[in-house]
């Protein structure tokens, strides 16, 4: 199952560039994909579906298509009508659709299987095992092919959804957790970040593209770096007793929280405290004094011990009623309250309350099935829809406003001598 979840934007607003996304690809093909952001998509053996999460209680189907079976990648451009689809029947082909008009805009073919796709209002990335293609999303022109990358068999990469910077992040090493930060506008490498000793498992930008979170394959330590200079800002410890597989990382919309899910039964939420350069106040109590002395003593301990003492622990947690199943999480505001949402490979969406002040254990308040047929909105909204954009460029540029609310959010081994083959069904 392939899962992708996007964060949250303001209640009742159109989806803007400041949205968060995450994805996780697996080898289970019974259900292909989930995308989320109060606008949700799921790919299955039959095709794909788009949903709207108007409230905690209501998950409504906005659109469904059975034209392409075995869908394992579905990426919707925010709340617009543009959808990018890849299926197991043609894993080397990317199809771009205008789902409201029911038309295919164009398709591109590559020389091997597509691993992941990322997009914002300026750029569309196709991630291959040994290359990344960068397209201009306005006209789908190929702008750059990044070839000098180490093998990336999972298609791990991230694109800032803030199209004013369009930063790209991808692994820079097969053996260490090095991250390459690339500018999607100037098409130049910005810097490399020595994030972890072990190889990378997850990376994610915040909404503004000013922070980058990462986790290694061990899954014990999560770090946050500033963008574009790559300086370490935060370090969190998920646990010490066991290594885990981190399946998703996502910032909250305001970058105050960072959520991490894994193959365990616990979802961790970390709080990003406000950083200040001001001189810390002198402790006024005996406890405060001892705490200061304890932290000072850590400077004389071995590096590994000192690092562990300075790592922050989870602010809040969400308990799943299962472990070992692949899942992905997001943080969203629904009905003016912060929520933790977890989509699982078993085809369910779990919604938890999050206490932003005190943290603690998040309370499960609702479970939705993503595979059963939800209430269909297409027919009841036909008479309420405004005029549809008549061009691909207009579809990309204009957010959709007909949906009452929207809920958040592919491997090509390239032919190095030629760009991907393009077949335009409609004029761009």
- Interatomic CA distance for residues 369 and 177, integer angstroms: 36
Who wins on pLDDT, 386 or 404? 386
pLDDT at 422: 64
pLDDT band at 351 (very low <50, low <70, confident <90, very high): very high
Closest CA to 36 of 50, 48, 18, 25: 50
pLDDT exceeds cutoff 70 at 298:
no
Count of beta carbons in the 10 Å neighbourhood of residue 387: 5
Closest CA to 118 of 108, 105, 127: 127
Lowest mean pLDDT among 119-128, 134-143, 304-313, 337-346: 304-313
Lowest mean pLDDT among 63-67, 127-131, 353-357: 63-67
pLDDT exceeds cutoff 90 at 24:
no
Domain count for the chain: 1
Take residue 424 and report the two structure tokens written for it. 């335009």
pLDDT exceeds cutoff 70 at 180:
yes
Lowest mean pLDDT among 25-29, 46-50, 130-134, 382-386: 25-29
Lowest mean pLDDT among 15-29, 188-202, 345-359: 15-29
pLDDT exceeds cutoff 60 at 183:
yes
**CB distance 351 to 337 below 8 Å:** no
**CB distance 21 to 125 below 8 Å:** no
pLDDT band at 243 (very low <50, low <70, confident <90, very high): confident
pLDDT at 302: 52
Closest CA to 322 of 362, 263, 365: 263
pLDDT exceeds cutoff 60 at 306:
no
Who wins on pLDDT, 404 or 309? 309
Phi, psi of 296 (to 5 degrees): -65, -40
pLDDT at 105: 94
Report the pLDDT averaged over residues 22-42. Answer: 49
Is residue 304 a part of any domain in this protein? Answer: yes
pLDDT band at 309 (very low <50, low <70, confident <90, very high): very low
pLDDT exceeds cutoff 50 at 204:
yes
Select, from the ranges 18-27, 63-72, 82-91, the one with the highest average predicted confidence (pLDDT): 82-91
SS3 394: helix
- Interatomic CA distance for residues 207 and 7, integer angstroms: 9
* Structural domain for 204, as ranges: 2-385+392-416
Report the pLDDT averaged over residues 294-312. Answer: 51
Is residue 133 a part of any domain in this protein? Answer: yes
pLDDT at 322: 86
**CB distance 231 to 213 below 8 Å:** no
52-83 residue pLDDT tens: 887 999 888 889 999 889 999 999 888 889 99
Letter string b/e over residues 213-236, b meaning 16 or more CB atoms within 10 A of that residue's CB: bbbbebbbbbbbbebeebeeebeb
SS3 150: coil
Q: Which residue in the block uniquely carries the two structure tokens 């469904």? A: 64
Q: How far apart are the first and last CA of the chain?
A: 32
**Average predicted confidence (pLDDT) for the chain:** 78
Closest CA to 298 of 287, 311, 281: 311
Rg (CA), the chain: 21
Task: Please give the torsion angle defined by the CA atoms of residues 361, 363, 367 and 370, in that order, rounded to the nearest 10 degrees.
Answer: -40
Take residue 16 and report the two structure tokens written for it. 């803007």
Lowest mean pLDDT among 31-35, 161-165, 168-172: 31-35
Interacting residues of 408 by C-beta distance below 8 A, sequence separation 6+: 5, 6, 7, 8, 19, 20, 21, 35, 36, 37, 38, 39, 40, 330, 332
Interacting residues of 90 by C-beta distance below 8 A, sequence separation 6+: none
Is residue 340 a part of any domain in this protein? Answer: yes
pLDDT at 48: 92
Is residue 421 a part of any domain in this protein? Answer: no
Report the pLDDT averaged over residues 271-288. Answer: 62
403 alpha-carbon distance from chain centroid: 22
Closest CA to 15 of 23, 6, 26: 6
pTM of the model: 0.77
**CB distance 220 to 307 below 8 Å:** no
pLDDT at 51: 82
- Interatomic CA distance for residues 66 and 88, integer angstroms: 14
Closest CA to 114 of 141, 149, 87, 151: 87
User: Tell me, what CATH number does 208's domain have?
Assistant: 2.130.10.10
362-395 residue pLDDT tens: 999 999 998 875 555 444 444 334 334 445 555 5
Take residue 365 and report the two structure tokens written for it. 């308040």
What beta strand segments (E) does 163-220 contain? 167-171, 177-183, 188-196, 200-205, 211-216
Q: Which residue in the block uniquely carries the two structure tokens 């009905």? A: 335
Interacting residues of 3 by C-beta distance below 8 A, sequence separation 6+: 23, 24, 26, 33, 34, 247, 248, 326, 327, 328, 343, 345
- Looking at the chain, the whole-number percentage of residues with pLDDT higher than 70 is 68
- Interatomic CA distance for residues 183 and 221, integer angstroms: 26
**CB distance 115 to 412 below 8 Å:** yes
- Interatomic CA distance for residues 298 and 213, integer angstroms: 25
């Amino acid at each position: 199952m392939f899962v992708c979840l996007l964060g949250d934007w303001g209640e009742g607003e159109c989806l803007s560039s400041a949205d968060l996304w995450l994805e996780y690809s697996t080898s289970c093909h019974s259900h292909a994909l989930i995308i989320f952001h109060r606008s949700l998509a799921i790919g299955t053996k039959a095709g794909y579906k788009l949903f709207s999460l108007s409230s905690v209680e209501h998950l409504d189907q906005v659109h469904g298509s059975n034209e392409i079976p075995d869908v394992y990648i579905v990426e919707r451009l925010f709340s617009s009508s543009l959808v990018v689809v890849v299926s197991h029947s043609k894993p080397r082909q990317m199809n771009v659709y205008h789902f409201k008009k029911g038309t295919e805009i164009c398709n591109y073919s590559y020389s091997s299987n597509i691993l992941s796709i990322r997009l914002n209002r300026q750029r569309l990335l196709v991630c291959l095992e040994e290359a990344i293609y960068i397209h201009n999303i306005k006209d789908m022109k190929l702008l750059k092919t990044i070839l000098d990358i180490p093998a990336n068999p999972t298609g791990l990469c991230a694109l800032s959804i803030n199209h004013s910077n369009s930063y790209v992040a991808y692994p820079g090493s097969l053996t260490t957790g090095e991250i390459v930060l690339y500018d999607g506008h100037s098409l130049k490498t910005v810097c490399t970040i020595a994030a972890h000793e072990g190889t990378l498992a997850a990376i994610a930008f915040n909404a503004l593209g000013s922070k980058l979170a990462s986790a290694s394959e061990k899954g014990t330590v999560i770090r946050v770096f500033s963008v574009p200079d790559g300086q370490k800002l935060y370090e969190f410890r998920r646990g010490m007793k066991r290594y885990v597989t981190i399946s998703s990382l996502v910032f909250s919309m305001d970058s105050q929280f960072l959520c991490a899910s894994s193959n365990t039964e616990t979802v961790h939420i970390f709080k990003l405290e406000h950083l200040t350069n001001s001189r810390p106040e002198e402790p006024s109590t005996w406890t405060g004094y001892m705490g200061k002395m304890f932290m000072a003593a850590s400077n004389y301990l071995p590096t590994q011990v000192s690092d562990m003492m300075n790592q922050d622990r989870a602010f809040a947690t969400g308990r799943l009623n299962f472990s070992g199943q692949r899942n992905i999480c997001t943080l969203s505001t629904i009905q003016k309250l912060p929520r933790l949402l977890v989509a699982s490979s078993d085809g369910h969406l779990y919604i938890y309350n999050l206490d932003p002040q005190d943290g603690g254990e998040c309370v499960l308040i609702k479970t939705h099935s993503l595979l059963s047929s939800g209430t269909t909105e297409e027919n009841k909204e036909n008479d309420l829809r405004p005029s549809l954009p008549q061009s691909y460029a207009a579809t990309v540029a204009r957010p959709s406003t007909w949906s009452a609310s929207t809920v958040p959010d592919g491997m090509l081994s390239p032919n190095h001598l030629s760009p991907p083959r393009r077949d335009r069904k409609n004029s761009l």
